[in-house]
Amino acid sequence: MKKLCVMLALLGLSGCVQVDNYHDVVKTPPPAGLDGYWQSAGPQSELVSPEAIASFIVTPQGDTLDCRQWQRVIALPGKLMRRGDVLYNVTNTRDVYSVSRSGDTLEYAGMTLQRVERPTDECADWLNQHPLIPSTSSNNLAQ
């Protein structure tokens, strides 16, 4: 019992972010320069294969898309959340990843992403079928 209490205390102090209900997460707009398209440049240890591609899309409203592709596309919509000074992406499956930008480089989910002009064709197709924000508002990122 003591070991369990110590482990829980250490986990609580380790800075882990937990989300119990995705719909309760308060979405925050991205800091200046974070909205747009980001993509892995070269092999990433967090991806299943050296040929896999990770894309991260951020709208000016704080909606996100974590889109990873190799033999198929896995796309997880989400939203940005701030806890203290740290910015996180929370996916609709309640995965939580810290997000930090330095110039045109983004550290996200253990990967290094570079700013790109547009998403991959596969992620763009997914976005066209599943817009991140209602189609009644202008969304240049989904076009």
94 domain-assigned: yes
Residue 9 domain-assigned (yes or no):
no
Residues facing 24 on adjacent strands:
none
Is the pLDDT score of 129 beyond 90? Answer: yes
Q: How many domains does the chain have?
A: 1
The better pLDDT of the pair 86, 136 is held by 86
User: pTM of the prediction?
Assistant: 0.79
Write out pLDDT tens, residues 52-62: 899 999 999 99
Cα 58 to Cα 38: distance, rounded to the nearest angstrom: 8
Domain of residue 35, CATH code: 2.40.128.500
Residue-wise pLDDT for 131-142, tens only, equals 987 543 334 454
Q: What are phi and psi of 34, to 5 degrees?
A: -90, -30
Would you say residue 1 lies in a domain? no
- Output the pLDDT for position 16: 61
Is 68 among the domain residues? yes
Residue 35 lies in a domain: yes
Q: Which domain holds residue 30?
A: 19-127
Residue 139 lies in a domain: no
Average pLDDT of the chain to the nearest whole number: 83
Is residue 102 a part of any domain in this protein? yes
- Residue 135, in any domain of the structure: no
